[in-house]
Structure 1
Amino acid sequence: MSKNSRILCPQLKHLVMSAEEAAKLISPGANVGMSGFTGAGYPKAVPGALAERIRAHNAQGGKPFRINVLTGASTAPELDGKLAEVDGIEMRLPFQSDPICRDRINSGTMNYADYHLSEVAQYAWSGFFGKMDIAIIEVVGIREDGSLIPSSSLGNNKTWIEQADKVILEVNYKQHERLEGMHDVYYGAALPPHRKPIMLTEPNQRIGDLYLRCPIEKVVAIVETNAPDRNTPFKQPDDASRRIAEHILAFFEREIKIGRLPKELLPLQSGVGNIPNAVLEALDTGPYKNLTAYTEVIQDGMLKMLKSGTLQMASATAFSLSPEGLAEFDENIEFYREKILLRSQDISNHPEVARRLGIIATNGMIEADIYGNVNSTHIMGTRMMNGIGGSGDFARNGYLSIFMSPSTAKGGKISSIVPMVSHVDHTEHDVKIIVTEQGLADLRGLSPRQRARSIIENCAHPDFKDQLHDYFERACASGRGMHTPHLLNEALSWHERFEQTGDMK
């Protein structure tokens, strides 16, 4: 330990050890809960040391060494990538975005369970995942009383610590000390029939503790690290992203004029990625002030909005910042720590809270069909991309659920608007708005056939619009039923044609 150690609890100081020593405490077949959400606050050292231990074990032959990995959401190559590379993961949940993990999932060599992020803590407490053997949690520091200063994400950390028999802590000196005080850890949740209302009525409201509680006797190892979070730099918005953002802002302006939205809008939820960031950037150049966010992640766009005053405050469970965004945050942390709250993901994504606050949810999609069903997880119906994440939590329970995508992919060979989606994550009952660079379809109050005409006319790319109209009109003329007309022998033929020829046309 250095003289500037952040390990202040006297009873724990003797547990400081190397990542390699800590990795020896993890057994084959273990259920391991790890911190981390969208590349923030994940353990940086122990997973890599464990991967090397697994590599050496498997090189000797015999029964493979694999573990079950549970996190808050996606992590980074130092965790998911290294463990997947050595085939060290038996089961992964509830969300991932690592290319090596994705390849193993889609080749059938890694099991993957895709869950609504708000439900993971409840599932763990209900025993659906089995006994939690060990938790590996990154923290900023350990206080004198053994309580933990959370890192750049909270995710499911509270649940993993409570559920695990043993806890390994990574104290990361690269994480800014002034993160202390930015967290709100709620300890009032319970399982039915003892559940009480979540008394959160404003995005900026505190309902919990500043620190994570961890019984001292659970801690079996402490590893000191000094490594940054790894997040993918965001690209500058392209023309399609900017046009999508323009359509959404024009929609907001109409809703304000009609009186369905206040001039400060409603609390914003934004999915991760370049299109959601383009929407945030467009909001920041608009007439808006004193907006609020109740979301999963703080992205670069939200930092800019907080700095400009467009955004008054933001509540989330993690950061997802580019290197430039992280530098901006660290340099001005005294400003941001007054405007940002990080919560556990079972609260940041809680359906009750989302419904009460009236969230405006903006999320990406892979494809939508002409009736408003959305696929946000599977390529061509079978190949997992990342997972549903929190989009379902907010889509079903928010005031507005907006799904966005360019109208085509693969250089125009794939239409994002299809007769029938190849996999359903969000049904037509939960999807309110669909937007592409071509336009926006407001589906509220429309019957299925009315939705189809609106989606085709407003959202489909011109190269595919005639095909979609032709499919819909022939489905209507088929006499098979006029409520939701389909030609079952053609409904998925667009995907089949792409698989066979490389083009949906």
Structure 2
Amino acid sequence: MQEDRIRHAGLRDRVVDADHAAALIQPGETVAMSGFTGSGYPKAVPLALAARIEQAHAEGQPFQIKLMTGASTAPELDGALAKADAIALRMPFQSDPDARKRINDGTLDYIDIHLSHVAQHVWFGFYGPIDTAVVEVSAIREDGTLVPSTSIGNNKTWLDLASKVIVEVNDWQPAGMEGMHDIYYGTALPPYRKPIPMEHVHDRIGDTTLRCDPDKIVAVVRTHGPDRNSPFTPIDATSERIAGHLIEFLKHEVALGRLPPTLLPLQSGVGNIPNAVLAGLAKSGFRGLTAFTEVIQDGMLDLLREGVLDVASCTGFALSPAANEAFKRDIAFYRERIIMRTQEMSNHPELVRRLGCIGMNGMIEADLYGNVNSTHVMGSRIQNGIGGSGDFARNGFMSVFLSPSTAKGGSISALVPMVSHVDHTEHDVSVIVTEQGLADLRGLTPKQRAHTLIANCVHPDYRDALQDYFDRALQHSYGKHTPHLLPEALSWHQRWLETGSMQG
């Protein structure tokens, strides 16, 4: 690593290896680490900590920590610690298969919360004090401030509240990131809050670096390791059809005057379908777009490079290895067009509402009336978590949920009589899109929503069955406003558990 990545003389004296840094974390501590969707997470200390905990367990000693992050991380963090049975409690979001298995086995406690709530909840002390923060940065400046790397997430809060801080300085991260970040220090807790001085996506309202009392930094670890995100998966035909329905709808909204030609700031979840939507926007002639989102993935980099997107605001990246290399190569170009904010700003409900964001997120299932389950398979097994989808669904100008109409080779329908778990109520869902079509639910009564969803979004293999359920519910339900047959409402899920298919 080049010496100028650690430019504070006093902190240069605290450089140790990962094993020595991990030894500073004690059993039972609450440890807050950086990281957001596989970017900007510490690469070395979590692995060393996992090895230390495995050794302690082999000697019959109990050793677990409570782990907080910005969102999901990567195998070197969530995966390594989960495999070592090192985590007693995890929050606020995860996507690691080993962690997921333990959560669903009941051996790892998990708190799944809106990403915009994390900082506030921690400041109020809902989870107790933070003992140690482990944060990756790309550099330490002469004044001791920290240049973030490819995510910010909750790092500001972790550094403010932790009793001691371990900093990983990763020289794999591009030095040219300095100046890309916008860290707002004007937040306060109720009743002392003031308006956030931000009117447009491109507004900068904070510092370019993170502040941290140098006396709290107990160790600095030099690293050189890449962010771990999956290679880009080619967009499949189903995702293209879903994207096509949404793009046509957006063009129609522009023609009606309900959206400007530049649309409104876009928020996009991570995955193949959102990437397909972004690709569709480019092909459809849209220009001058903006994004106010949590994560930038490959598709948004493409839109910035092609001039479709003018500016994008985020808190982290989810880039394939190839896109990561392109980002690093053209860092000067992207630094002028990407603004990275803290998680409490990227997901702030008031900013989402005021800017009028269009939220586009995936789902596991939706029901007849537009309630959406985005977290739990068959009602009880967590997949990943709610993440930031609720921040944008509840507060955005328009909330769109996208999914293939079936899963598991057609054995599961994404449209069911009643969702087995509710993350987004019918009141917060504007549009549902599958490869079958699009249902605009705005301004519709519950029964009208049911008719629209059945006609437009349900797979043909399930359409007659769902129509039959709805027709009989209209006749025999306890009430006629939102008709349900309670003994049958979750029967599709139960049938899948018993037979491996929702089809009768």
TM-score scaled to structure 1, two decimals? 0.99
Alignment of 1:25-424 (within 5 A): 25-62=24-61, 64-424=62-422
Q: How many Å separate the matches in 2 of 1:421 and 1:21?
A: 49
How far does the alpha carbon of each residue in 1:303-325 deviate from its partner, in whole angstroms, 9 at most, with x for none? Answer: 10001111001000001100111
User: What secondary structure does 1:429 align onto?
Assistant: helix
Contact 2:473 2:485 in 1 (8 A): yes
Q: How many Å separate the matches in 2 of 1:470 and 1:54?
A: 55
User: What secondary structure does 1:254 align onto?
Assistant: helix
Contact 2:144 2:212 in 1 (8 A): yes
Q: How many Å separate the matches in 2 of 1:479 and 1:120?
A: 40
1:460 paired to 2:458? yes
Q: How many Å separate the matches in 2 of 1:150 and 1:481?
A: 55
Residue 5 of structure 1: how far off its partner (Å): 3.8
1:10 paired to 2:12? no
Contact 2:31 2:67 in 1 (8 A): yes
Q: How many Å separate the matches in 2 of 1:433 and 1:199?
A: 31
Contact 1:373 1:427 in 2 (8 A): yes
How far does the alpha carbon of each residue in 1:138-158 deviate from its partner, in whole angstroms, 9 at most, with x for none? Answer: 000101110000110000000
Task: Quote the residue 2:468 is aligned against.
Answer: 470
Residue 91 of structure 1: how far off its partner (Å): 0.4
Q: Which amino acid aligns with 1:140?
A: S
Residue 233 of structure 1: how far off its partner (Å): 1.6
How far does the alpha carbon of each residue in 1:260-297 deviate from its partner, in whole angstroms, 9 at most, with x for none? Answer: 00000000000011111110111111111110000001
Residue 12 of structure 1: how far off its partner (Å): 1.0
Q: How many Å separate the matches in 2 of 1:479 and 1:136?
A: 54
Q: Which amino acid aligns with 2:22?
A: A
Residue 4 of structure 1: how far off its partner (Å): 3.0
Task: Quote the residue 1:23 is aligned against.
Answer: 22
How far does the alpha carbon of each residue in 1:420-465 deviate from its partner, in whole angstroms, 9 at most, with x for none? Answer: 0000000000000000000000000000000000001100000000
Q: Which amino acid aligns with 1:438?
A: Q
Contact 1:234 1:273 in 2 (8 A): no
Q: Which amino acid aligns with 1:459?
A: C
Unaligned runs of 5+ in 2: none
Q: How many Å separate the matches in 2 of 1:479 and 1:221?
A: 64
Q: Which amino acid aligns with 1:169?
A: V
How far does the alpha carbon of each residue in 1:326-353 deviate from its partner, in whole angstroms, 9 at most, with x for none? Answer: 0111111111110000000100000000
Q: How many Å separate the matches in 1 of 2:289 and 2:477?
A: 49
Q: How many Å separate the matches in 1 of 2:465 and 2:431?
A: 22
Contact 1:137 1:169 in 2 (8 A): yes
Q: How many Å separate the matches in 1 of 2:499 and 2:271?
A: 30
Going from structure 1 to structure 2, the CA distance change for 1:479 and 1:147 (only over 3 Å counts) comes to: closer
Q: How many Å separate the matches in 2 of 1:482 and 1:410?
A: 33
Size of the alignment, in residue pairs?
A: 503
User: What secondary structure does 1:287 align onto?
Assistant: coil
User: What secondary structure does 1:15 align onto?
Assistant: coil
Contact 2:182 2:340 in 1 (8 A): yes
How far does the alpha carbon of each residue in 1:226-283 deviate from its partner, in whole angstroms, 9 at most, with x for none? Answer: 0000001221111110000000011011101111000000000000111111101111
Q: Which amino acid aligns with 1:73?
A: A
Contact 2:477 2:484 in 1 (8 A): no
Q: How many Å separate the matches in 1 of 2:166 and 2:353?
A: 36
User: What secondary structure does 1:48 align onto?
Assistant: helix
Q: How many Å separate the matches in 2 of 1:6 and 1:258?
A: 53
**Kindly, what percent of the aligned residue pairs are identical?**
62
How far does the alpha carbon of each residue in 1:350-391 deviate from its partner, in whole angstroms, 9 at most, with x for none? Answer: 000000000000000000001000000000000000000000
Contact 2:477 2:485 in 1 (8 A): no
Q: Which amino acid aligns with 1:148?
A: L
Q: Which amino acid aligns with 2:159?
A: I
State the Cα RMSD in Å. 0.7
Q: How many Å separate the matches in 2 of 1:166 and 1:326?
A: 31
Q: Which amino acid aligns with 2:36?
A: F
Match of 1:444 among 438, 442, 459: 442
Unaligned runs of 5+ in 1: none
Contact 1:148 1:211 in 2 (8 A): yes
Residue 479 of structure 1: how far off its partner (Å): 4.7
Q: How many Å separate the matches in 1 of 2:46 and 2:294?
A: 24
